Chain A
Amino acid sequence: MTDDCSSDAGSGPGTAADTPTRPGEKIRCHPSIIAERSLSAIVVLAVIATQLGRGAVPAVLAILFIGLVLFNYRQWSRTTIQFNERDVVVERNTLFKMKKTLPYAKVASVNVNRGILNRVFGTSRLLVNINSGSGATVPEAVLTFRQDVAEEIRAGMAERLYGHETVAEEEPAEPPVSFTPADVIVHGLFSVSTYQTVSGFAFLAYSVVQIYVSTVTGAGAGGTALVSLLMFFTIQLAPSVSLIFHYYNYRVYRRGDTIYLEHGLVRTYKTSFDASRINAIRVKRTLAARLLHRSCIEAEVVGLASGSGESLRPVLCLLKDDATQQRLLEELVPEFVDEHGRERQPAGARSVLLIRAALASLALVLVTAYPSIYLYHETAALTGVTGLVLPYALPLATAAAILAISYATYVSYRVTEFGTGTDLFTFVNGAVDRETVVMNYDRVQMVRITRGPVARIFGVARGKVYLLSAIGGANVSSGYFAGSRLAAVGETVMERIASGEYDYRKNSI
């Protein structure tokens, strides 16, 4: 459960504004949280009032609003935060009492972000996350403080967590790579998955054709054109624009063992985490990015939830040219530079992939056979271009899909790789959007090797490695390799535990 409150260190019970982190001292949230929480409700109430604004309804809604403000006031006034020597205690003494203790030893990150209301009130949100798989998507505490107080608390906590202070606002930091607004826009446009882009543009094309046809025929554009346009906005445009806003002014740098991220246009984010918290690194290349010779880096770090629904996987490098990406990887996370060789899938994998492709194609043919015949009979009598194309549209589409399946199979066989080293191992996957995942053996939670009926004939298997990820549990799948090769991952994990090479103190969750 997230504890969401905000604090004015200066007006807390018996507190002094300049010493917000004095051990044991109880402080309260900034009172602006009352307005912040109540404002979101006023929008809903205003909508209801405009729709049902007759009789006693507005008066009832006004009473509801006053009640909500009083409720939020009570929540604020009875919630206190204590920054002790060993832990942070958030306590709420209302009808539903709550006391949450967050030991510094378990805290994964302390981050600050600022939205529009925070800027209006001169506050910042302080997000405290613990390294937990179960609540990975929601921060354990969201505390809004006056901006300077939030920064001070964050610096104090970072000192406890990472052993040194975070970089102050005015202290210049030297990012190894600078990102221009053009980089941010390119990242926003081309880091979206190819499947998403293709389906988004298919909807756009459909709506354009519909609007064109309706213009030519003089009839009004139908609802389907507008729905398609809306789908394009939802699937393609909105995620791209959201990414551009999210990563505007992007900076990344490392100081000691701590990695710092700063970005954001409307809501600004300052995130830091210890490099030892990284469970895996993903180097991603969408089809468009590959055509531009660009790639980006994401990290699997638990405990970076902001509670606002944004992507939880921190981006360590926006789409940049491959050489720059590699340089940044080496400077930021040298722990995850894999220098081991990688192997391609054995010949048995090719047979399995071919049989899978053949079965998929056969299923497609069976599914489309009857509709194809039906469509042929229905449209055979048509004349002109429509009569020439429509009867064969479905068989042609099926043939195109089978060609796509065959090509994807060929590419999948060619690009899928697997490599094992002393501390790290790597899976490379993706026929269209390619992903290289570098993982540390010490972060592997569980290994599962699966052999399907066809794979058994050809002596190969697929591996699935379970890790603690930014969204809780996650797994990474391999291609088809010899079972003994994949089993080596689990066995290396076991050997490292048995030999004492695995240090539980560095990897405790």
Chain B
Amino acid sequence: MSFPGPVNGQAPADEGSPEPGAGADGYRRLNRKCMLSMYIDYAMWYAVLLVAYILTKTYAEGFLGSYYDLIGYGFMLVLGIALVYIAVAPPVFYARYRYRITEDRVDVRCGVLFIRHTLVPIERVHQVEITRGPINNLLGLADVTITTAGGEADIRYLEVDEAEKVADRLNNLVGRMLRDRMPATPIPRPGAADE
């Protein structure tokens, strides 16, 4: 699997030596704790699915009639597929997840079955938000959500410090861009030259 390189062969604005902690291509990886967070999250959903299966097997025979066996097999198939996915998905997700923040863009590459490459120009960033759910809270992880006028992009399972740094960096980049756009010198009043 290979994604196309940056900007028709051109490097992004500040791509020179990679940041500390980043790979040779400038991309950073997640902490391995992300897998644990995903396993806990998936296990909870699997438990819900399992309870639904047990309730169906126990109480739904009369209601489902001749479809009882068929739905039971279907349920078992779904449980089996889910179990395989839960076992395999977190390591694959961890191995594939890459993100990079440069002067001009946020670049995220991730996915288990479907691999997504998201590009957000810093110019379009409206809001940066850090969120922590209860599981991530326990593990010291956080998500950074980047909002544009057209949609949102996430950088997930960052360590809290790293999430703060990412949010600060994005806010600084947006702030600097806005400052650069402000007129450098005050607009002269009409007739000021004559004074």
Contacts and interface: CB of A to CB of B under 8 A. Distances in A.
Most chain B CB within 10 A, of A444, A445, A456, A490, is at A445
A291 interface: no
B150 A468 contact: yes
22 contacts: A133-B149, A370-B70, A444-B124, A444-B150, A446-B118, A446-B148, A446-B150, A448-B117, A448-B118, A450-B117, A452-B113, A453-B113, A468-B150, A473-B149, A475-B151, A484-B4, A487-B4, A487-B117, A491-B7, A494-B7, A494-B105, A504-B181
Contacts of A450: 111, 114-117
Contacts of B113: 452-453
Interface in B145-195: 148-151, 153, 181
A467 interface: yes
Contact of B150 (A445, A487, A488, A490): A445
A494 B12 contact: yes
Interface in B62-118: 66, 70, 104-105, 111, 113-118
Contacts of B70: 370
Contacts of A502: 123
A490 B123 CA distance: 13
Contacts of A504: 123, 181
B128 interface: no
Contact of B149 (A445, A475, A488): A445
A448 B116 contact: yes
Interface string A254-274: 000000000000000000000
Interface of B: 1, 3-4, 6-8, 10, 12-13, 66, 70, 104-105, 111, 113-121, 123-124, 126, 148-151, 153, 181
Contact of B148 (A466, A483, A495): A466
Given A446-B119, A446-B124, A493-B121, A452 B114 contact: yes
Closest 5 CB pairs of A and B: A445-B150, A466-B150, A466-B151, A484-B4, A445-B148
A469 B150 contact: yes
Contacts of A483: 3-4, 117
Chain A CB count within 10 A is highest, among B66, B70, B148, for B148
B119 A447 contact: yes
A498 B149 contact: no
B1 A447 contact: no
Given A446-B124, A488-B8, 15 more contacts: A444-B150, A445-B148, A446-B118, A446-B121, A446-B148, A447-B118, A448-B116, A449-B3, A450-B117, A456-B1, A494-B121, A497-B121, A497-B123, A502-B123, A509-B149
Question: How many A residues are at the interface, by size bracket?
Answer: 35 or more
Given A448-B118, A452-B114, A133 B104 contact: no
A397 to B, nearest CB: 19
Contacts of A495: 7-8, 10
A450 B117 CA distance: 6
Contacts of A133: 149-150
A474 interface: yes
Nearest to A451: B115
Interface string A456-473: 100000000011110001
Contacts of A451: 1, 114-115
Contacts of A445: 120, 124, 148-151
A334 to B, nearest CB: 25
Nearest to A509: B149
Interface string A431-448: 000000000000011111
Contacts of B3: 449, 483, 487
Contacts of B150: 133, 444-446, 466-469, 473-475
Given A456-B1, A474-B150, A498 B104 contact: yes
Contacts of A488: 8
A324 B62 CA distance: 63
Contacts of B105: 494
Interface centre among A133, A466, A469, A488 (most CB of B within 10 A): A466
Contacts of B123: 497, 502, 504
